[in-house]
Structure 1
């Protein structure tokens, strides 16, 4: 996608549906916010687990900001960090006295 390319949604039925819901609510709806949330959700769904891990690594290395990492992998950002911490803790455990039968 070109750097200055805009994302636009041009479905007549989509626009009409959003206008109907907007009129149903006294406070209306924020189409931009709904579109942004939907875009992020679908973008995250397209990523494989391996891609999420690669993006997390790029975040750790400072190649991408926390804000961008949050957009791309959302809750997985914290989950990966928790799993890494748990692995580090487990690898430090003294297992010399553990018996396996």
Structure 2
């Protein structure tokens, strides 16, 4: 699948396997979307709107060696975790703040 930028989805359109409420997701949580959605693969939540009715996801990649990039400054270096991926394939800093997704 080609790399794309952020996608915005209604929170109500997400069904989680563990029956967790999608509105309980947080910035930085990763999701595996099914191919039938048209956006299959690993994604990471980067933004929610104020009432958590929509959220933005960025294509993501699992890594353990993000510490090699000083611009990322990731506290999870050495442990398996997800990072957003830019369209050109570069790992991006993990999101940490909630902003409006719309």
TM value normalised by structure 1 = 0.20
- The structure having more radius of gyration, on CA atoms, is 1
- Structure in which a larger fraction of residues adopt strand: 2
Q: Report the TM-score when normalising by structure 2.
A: 0.20
Q: Give the structure, 1 or 2, with the largest relative contact order (CA under 8 Å, sep 6 or more).
A: 2
